[in-house]
Amino acid sequence: MGTILPEGRLAVGMQLPIQSQSTNYVEPWELRAGAAELASVARAADTAGFFYVAVCDHIAIPSEQATAMGEAWWDTVATLGWLAGITSDVRLLSHVYVPAYRHPLQVAKAFSTIDAISGGRVIMGVGAGHVRGEFDLLGLPFEERGALLDESIDALRAAFAEDYPTLPGPRWPAADMGQQPRPIQEDGPPIWIGGSSPAALRRAAQRGDGWLPQGPTTPELIAKIRILRDEAGRHDAFDFGALIGPTFVGEPDWDLAGPALAGSPDKIAHVLRKFSAMGVGQVQVRLRSRSVDELVDQIGRFGTDVIPQLG
């Protein structure tokens, strides 16, 4: 497919708040927020020139993991479809979606529809999944989650390309089953692979259009993916990503309670440009905030004062 990122400029995205509320990153104000606040944040990112907004995917959280993970994980497809209707330019990323939880034709229909109604703004971030209880709930073999993801990706490629795709299986064989609407993007939504394990790196190199790391992005990991792509005979453009983590534009007058990239717009832009020099095309920030109004203000400041320095 090749790159979808803007030429000559580092793209910036953000994981949306409220939609997922893991204790690893949820801000206290999100626990009392809902659709109105989420809409304000998404529209602010759209206006500020963010390249994408992202939402997560879980079906149900086992009780023994709910203390850490929380229970609030809004449905990915429903949320992205709603976001398509209230934004105009920002891309819509699933970060990450577990396609093996559903039949590939069901997944292809959902994401093709969102691509159609959004004017071709969908990016599929996919992963193998990590919650054994969800696999057990759905009757799926947890130990085979990598193979299930590989089959899902191949099946999605076929379904995005043809009205009547042939899916060889082995889990989800299908033939002579047509579906529309077709996606707007010529080859369907690009597929970015999530994860930093050796298996995820191989999958990104062999099957992906881009990479969504789960941890730090290093020159060594970028080089590894490039070597794997060469070995697979893939020489098209590829979108490398990086997670920047907690970020705050300006000098905070409150305790951020942990490491964060904070300071002047010049300082933040300087740090982000180092990723660009490494070969990264898009970075994801998590702007810290104590309220939805503060987050909207941070998004606006980032768009006005930082993004113009990245290209």
Q: What pLDDT is recorded for position 3? A: 86
Backbone angles phi, psi at 72, to 5 degrees: -85, 100
Q: Which two tokens stand for residue 38?
A: 């989420």
Give counts: helices (H), strands (E), the chain.
10, 9
Assigned token pair, 82:
């709603």
Task: Indicate whether 76 belongs to any domain.
Answer: yes
pLDDT tens figures, 103-118 = 999 999 999 999 999 9
Cα–Cα separations (whole angstroms), residue 231 to 1, 197, 211, 226, 298: 18, 18, 17, 9, 43
Domain membership of residue 6 (yes or no) is no
Q: Residue 1: pLDDT above 80?
A: no
- The residue length of the chain stands at 311
Do 93 and 52 touch, CB atoms closer than 8 A?
yes
- Domain contains 23: yes
Q: Is 5 a member of any domain? A: no
First to last CA, the chain: 23
In three-state secondary structure terms, 244 is: strand
Tell me the pLDDT tens digit for each residue of 68-80: 999 999 999 999 9
Is 3 a member of any domain?
no
DSSP SS3 for 163: coil
Q: Which helix (H) or strand (E) holds 92?
A: strand 91-97
pLDDT band at 255; cut points 50, 70, 90: very high
Tally of domains within the chain = 1
Structure tokens at 216: 């730090």
Task: List, in sequence order, every residue forming a beta bridge with 249; answer none if it has no partner.
Answer: 263
Cis peptide before 170 (omega within 30 of 0): yes
With respect to residue 4, please indicate whether it lies within any of the assigned structural domains. no
Confidence at 236, pLDDT banded by 50, 70, 90: very high
Kindly indicate the confidence band of residue 306, based on its pLDDT and cuts at 50, 70 and 90.
very high
Q: Residue 171: its pLDDT value, please?
A: 97
Residue at 113: amino acid letter? T
Global pTM reads: 0.97
Specify the CATH number for the domain of residue 293: 3.20.20.30
Interhelix angle 35-48/292-301, rounded to 10 degrees, is 10
In percent, the amount of the chain with pLDDT more than 90 equals 98
Q: What is the mean pLDDT of residues 178-185?
A: 97
pLDDT(230) > 80: yes
Q: Which residue segment(s) compose the domain that 80 sits in?
A: 11-310
pLDDT band at 139 (very low <50, low <70, confident <90, very high): very high
The rounded distance, in Å, linking the Cα atoms of 166 and 178 is 10
- Indicate the pLDDT class of residue 41, thresholds 50, 70 and 90: very high
Residue 52 parent element (H or E)? strand 52-55
